[in-house]
Homo-oligomer: A and B are copies of this chain.
């Protein structure tokens, strides 16, 4: 039985708490949050106690911590949890600043603790199946990857201003997908984009529509297209071409109803947003973490992955700002 502490009782923290609570091999012991009411409520729901981060880290029965607090606290909490020898589940990104992320990764490595970074998409049943079938050789080596990643709508501009920009905030997941699926590191990154949905985003110094191209050392190619707005919901697809065929990961939809009318034949739109689409992925991710901690098994997504994705986000940001191809 792994006893765990959760740092952060917001939206994603509540998801992780619920998933932890459902696992037979884990128990949520502490919840910490600067928002006392949120911590109280979440602790009550799962029979946990409210505690400070210090107290939780000091409790030797705590084997694992889940970092789901604000991004700007991640690096510090990673350092402290690593110092305390805890297994760590940390939400992405490691940090918005690459140097700080590298430093946190170094500390984690030196401490030798298990550390999962929350790229939950790798645990999505559809995405994971593509990866497994690709790894099994079903279509040969990957040659080209096309990633479509569109949000149903933009977050508030106040959030965008502190988000680190679209490449770090939104595409960080897509960069991870590229590394994971192409199984090779980027040699060049090219990014361009526009502000097409809301001038306020441009005024905030960001863009809402991007196209990114990655070429790896072995010459494999990836294209990512993203938008902050898709009228039809959360669009999360990718397809990978190999010598023997193509594997596509399609959207999930709430129901399998088909309506035939005088107008057309229609199906449901995709699941609305990430909490719906990645509901199972989040549960699988937490189960994988607890399994790995309990069994001393390797993790699917490590802090090194978190750093690498951030490097790509950094490179894409520079490519866009400086209007040039960035070499890595």
| Residues in chain A within 8 A of chain B (CB atoms) | 22, 24, 45, 125-126, 129-130, 133, 138-139, 143-144, 146, 148, 150, 188, 190, 192-197, 209-211, 213, 215, 219-223, 225, 227, 229-232, 235, 241, 243-270, 323-325
Give complex CA distance A255, B132 in Å. Answer: 12
> Which listed residue, B126, B192, B264, touches A221 by the CB 8 Å rule?
B192
On chain B, the residues within 8 Å of A263 by CB distance are 266, 269
**A144 proximity list for chain B (CB < 8 A):** 209, 211, 225, 227
The one of B24, B211, B269 that contacts A223, using a Cβ cutoff of 8 Å: B211
Instruction: Name the residue of chain B whose CB is nearest to the CB of A229.
Output: B243
Chain B, residue nearest A226 (CB):
B144
Q: Determine the residue in chain B with the shortest Cβ distance to A190.
A: B190
Tell whether A250 pairs with B257 under 8 Å between CB atoms, given A221-B211, A265-B232: yes
Task: Check A219 against B194 for contact (C-beta < 8 Å).
Answer: yes
Q: Could you list some 17 contacts between A and B, CB below 8 A? A: A125-B255, A139-B259, A139-B261, A144-B225, A194-B215, A197-B243, A209-B219, A210-B221, A211-B215, A231-B243, A235-B260, A247-B257, A247-B259, A253-B265, A259-B264, A260-B269, A264-B268
With A126-B255, A194-B220, A245-B260 as known contacts, state yes or no: A267 contacts B269, CB within 8 Å.
no
Sample of 18 further A-B pairs with CB below 8 A, known A265-B267, A323-B325: A129-B254, A129-B257, A144-B227, A146-B146, A193-B221, A194-B220, A211-B213, A213-B213, A230-B260, A231-B245, A245-B260, A247-B257, A248-B257, A260-B269, A264-B266, A264-B267, A265-B268, A265-B269
Complex Cα gap A231–B144 (Å): 13
Determine the distance from Cα of A253 to Cα of B263 in the docked complex, in whole angstroms: 13
Bound form: Cα–Cα A166–B251 in Å: 32
* Copies of this chain, count: 4
A209 vs B227: C-alpha distance in the bound complex, in angstroms?
25
A190 contacts B256, CB within 8 Å?
no
The 5 closest A-B pairs by CB, nearest first: A194-B219, A232-B260, A250-B256, A264-B266, A245-B261
Please state if A258 and B248 are interface contacts (CB–CB under 8 Å): yes
Report the minimum CB–CB distance from A31 to chain B (whole Å). Answer: 17
Determine the chain B residues whose CB is within 8 A of the CB of A325 once the complex forms: 190, 323-325
Bound form: Cα–Cα A221–B190 in Å: 13
Interchain nearest-CB distance for A170 vs B (Å): 14
User: Chain B nearest CB: distance from A283 CB in Å?
Assistant: 12
A235–B206 Cα gap in the complex (Å)? 35
A237→B12 CA distance, assembly (Å): 36
Q: Which residues of B contact A259 (CB under 8 A)?
A: 133, 138-139, 245-248, 264
Contacts of A188 in B (CB 8 A): 192
Residues of B within 8 A of A146 (CB): 146, 148, 223, 225
Closest beta carbon of chain B to A129's beta carbon, Å: 4
Contact B197 A215 (CB under 8 A): no
Residues of B within 8 Å of A265, CB to CB, are 232, 253, 266-270
A223: chain B residues at CB < 8 Å are 146, 211, 213, 223, 225
Q: Which residues of B contact A251 (CB under 8 A)?
A: 256
List, in ascending order, chain B residues with CB within 8 A of A220's CB. Answer: 194, 196
